[in-house]
Amino acid sequence: MIDSAAALLAAIRESPNELLPRLAFADWCEEHQQPERAAFIREQCAAAAGASPYDPQARQFQQSAALRLHAHSAEWYPQLSHATRSQLIHERGFPIAVRINPLVLPADLPILIQQTPLERLSIDCSQVEMPAIVEQILRRLSVMLQGSRLRTLELLNAGMNSRSLAPLLEISELVTLESLNLLRNHADSRFVDQLLASPRLPRLRQLDLESNSLTPEGIRQLLTRPSFAKLRAFHIPDQNIDHSTWMAMLESPHATELESLSLGPGLDSRCLIRWTQHDGLPALRHLDLAWNDIHDPAVIQLAESPRLRQLQSLSLWATPITEAAGQALARSRFADHLRLLDLSRTGIRDETILAMLSTGTWTNLRELRLERIPLQMQTLRHLAESNRLSPDCRLMVTTLHLSRAESQQVREWFDARQKLAESARIPAGLPHPD
């Protein structure tokens, strides 16, 4: 890559949210006989400038850009393996994220770092049967990341223990990292303590530790550490959390800035009730209680509590609540700030949905998940045709309990809802990519 293009790419890295450096790169591509890449960058930038991704003009730009990418990605990234090219995620004309096999990492990652403003790196080890290979690659990651400005790193399905994960603490190139996901490893609380205290990770704000080796006692120890205060999101959805650990979280002076929590299983109704009565976790906006032992009385109390207004998203997926809790939520005057509600695989039924559609509380909702709930045809039609939900609200429903003809009818209702929503929107005035 010649110097002028490298300078433009550096400007994009320095100002990742600005469109002008990207459009300047598109001009450079056009001047250097790369018209398709120039058009691709302009189309994605035009789509990103829209008020909503559902605007017809924005969708047209997205579809056109997708066709160009499919036709020309091998031409634009000839040095990358096909497997890596197929996993690139582009935003505003450039790869922003990639999910990569560790076996091709040594060859492909330095090219990505040099030629793209990559921000999110996901290393999926599920196809690698020898953990020693992953550990060896991890020790070389510092060299591969030279010049990077990663904001998110995922090391998934590696099965690595705390000793094997220790090289992460020595990678100075992770100084810009904000989010770390260690799904299906064996990190313990001692390693997490070292991770949070590491001077090489000063910007770390989100930590995902699903399927690791934390114990309730270890989590309680973490909550006593001042370094825990840096976190804004802490996700441990399948680590055993007991009532004592939940109370330690509520009372910890180092958890006051937490905005997002995913916990359990192990929590019971007492934990949710205590949160409605306690002033702990004052910054909490996103609460995921999937698979926990939360029953109707706790959700009813939450529905009647002003603390519900604090939340923007609430997941009760696969909790044993019934219609009593569902209808309390549906009629709650404190639910007006919720933007995501997940009631999938619970015991709520049609009466809850009809109650929601009879109030004006849910106009801010942007996603309603009702998977594995056997709603009747008439309820599904009310959902599709109701003006009590925003046109931008994404509805996730189940039709497996219906006949093929009924499922087709439901799809037609929901397609009509989407088309009506698009036709009702005022065009966003997107800049034309040419």
Residues 178 and 119 in one domain: yes
pLDDT (average), residues 266-272: 94
Using DSSP, state whether 182 is helix, strand or coil.
Answer: coil
pLDDT score, position 112:
95
Q: Is 186 helix (H, G, I), strand (E, B) or coil?
A: strand
Q: Which amino acid is at 389?
A: L
**321 domain residue, yes or no:** no
Please give the residue range of the domain that contains residue 56.
1-68
- The answer to whether residues 129 and 91 belong to one domain is yes
Q: Is residue 186 part of a domain?
A: yes
Q: Based on the fold, state whether residues 39 and 109 are members of the same structural domain.
A: no
Shared-domain flag, residues 36 and 84: no
Task: Please enumerate in sequence order all residues whose Cβ is within 8 A of that of 424, keeping only pairs 6 or more positions apart, or say none.
Answer: 391
In a shared domain, residues 90 and 188: yes
226 to 147, 229, 230, 255, 308: CA distances (angstroms): 31, 6, 8, 9, 28
Q: Are residues 90 and 51 in the same domain?
A: no
| Residues 169, 86 within the same domain | yes
> pLDDT by residue (tens digit) across 120-166?
999 999 988 777 888 899 999 999 999 999 999 999 999 999 999 99
Together in a domain, 57 and 120: no
- pLDDT tens per residue across span 188-233: 999 999 999 999 999 999 999 999 999 999 999 999 999 999 999 9
SS3 category, 426? coil
Hey, which bits of 248-312 come out as E strands?
260-263, 286-288
pTM: 0.91
Domain count within the chain: 2
- On whether both 81 and 188 belong to a single domain, the answer is yes
Residue 83, SS3? helix
User: How far apart, in whole angstroms, are the C-alpha atoms of residue 255 and residue 264?
Assistant: 17
Q: Name the DSSP class of 289.
A: -
Does residue 4 fall inside a structural domain? yes
Residues 21 and 58 in one domain: yes
pLDDT digits (tens, 9 = 90+) for 296-341: 999 999 999 999 999 999 999 999 999 999 999 999 999 999 999 9
Q: How far is CA 118 from the centre of its chain?
A: 17
Q: Which residue has the tokens 């690139």?
A: 88
What is the pLDDT at residue 428? 35
- Structural domain ending residue among the three candidates 68, 90, 107: 68
Q: What is the mean pLDDT of residues 266-295?
A: 96
Quick one: 157 and 122 in the same domain? yes
The pLDDT score that the predictor gives to residue 434 is 41
Q: What share of the chain is helix, strand, coil (3-state, %, to 5)?
A: 45, 15, 40
* Residues 333 and 304 sit within 8 Å (Cβ to Cβ): no
CA nearest 66: which of 38, 43, 99, 95? 43
144: in domain: yes
Q: Looking at the domain assignment, is residue 137 inside a domain? A: yes
Cα 147 to Cα 173: distance, rounded to the nearest angstrom: 8
CB 330 within 8 A of CB 305: no
- State the average pLDDT for the chain: 92
What are 365-390's pLDDT values in tens digits? 999 999 999 999 999 999 999 989 98
Q: Answer yes or no: is pLDDT of 119 > 90.
A: yes
Residue type for 151, please? R
Regarding whether 131 and 60 lie in a shared domain, the answer is no
Q: Among residues 194, 213, 245, which one ends one of the domains? A: 194
Q: With contact defined as beta carbons under 8 Å apart, do 49 and 17 qualify?
A: no
Q: How far apart are CA 8 and CA 21, in angstroms?
A: 6
Residue finishing a domain among 167, 194, 221: 194
- Does residue 2 lie within any of the structural domains? yes
Nearest to 185 by CA among 219, 217, 216, 208: 208
Cβ burial, residue 217 (10 Å; 0-12/13-18/19+): exposed
